[in-house]
Amino acid sequence: MELVSEVTARLENKPGRLAKICSALAQEKVDVLAISVMESGGVSVLRLVTSDLDAAKRVLTSLGTESTVDEVLALQIENRTGSLAGVLEKLAAEHINIEYAYVSSTTSQGKALAILHTANLKRAQQILREPGASTSEKPGGRRPLHSR
């Protein structure tokens, strides 16, 4: 688990725009480790975690796309039912709100990469590092918050 830099850009919502960005990133040999794109009021919001932050920003700038950079929490979780729920319940129990999240596959067998943004990233990181808070531990013990 670590804090990583994420690039956010607002894109015209039209055919080929995302393809052009991804092609340009590939041309610069920038790996996309995690990606989220969603429409919001006619504009698409693109969020990327890449292998090379500076190159990703240069690519976006060269395509006339403004971007911002923010820190997010990146953690590997088991790629199985309930893994993400377990992480989120630990954070909810400590009153940590998830502002947004997305998950991507990884090259590690049986793992997924979860990207979380909270108002208090350092506290979230601390909670998930506490003993018994392993992101790959099996669910059990306390009932989920939604069933209390």
Read off the pTM: 0.82
- Whether 76 and 117 map to the same domain: the answer is yes
Structural domain total, the chain: 2
Residue 144's pLDDT is 47
Residue 51's pLDDT is 95
Domain's final residue, options 45, 69, 93:
69
Domain's final residue, options 69, 90, 106:
69
Residue 132's pLDDT is 60
* Positions in the chain short of pLDDT 50: 134, 136-144, 147-148
- Domain range enclosing 48: 2-69
CATH of the domain at 23: 3.30.2130.10
- Whether 84 and 44 map to the same domain: the answer is no
Residue with token string 């920003």: 57
Tens digits of residue pLDDT in 75-90: 999 999 999 999 999 9
H helices of the chain, in order, are 17-27, 53-62, 83-93, 121-129
Residue 133's pLDDT is 53
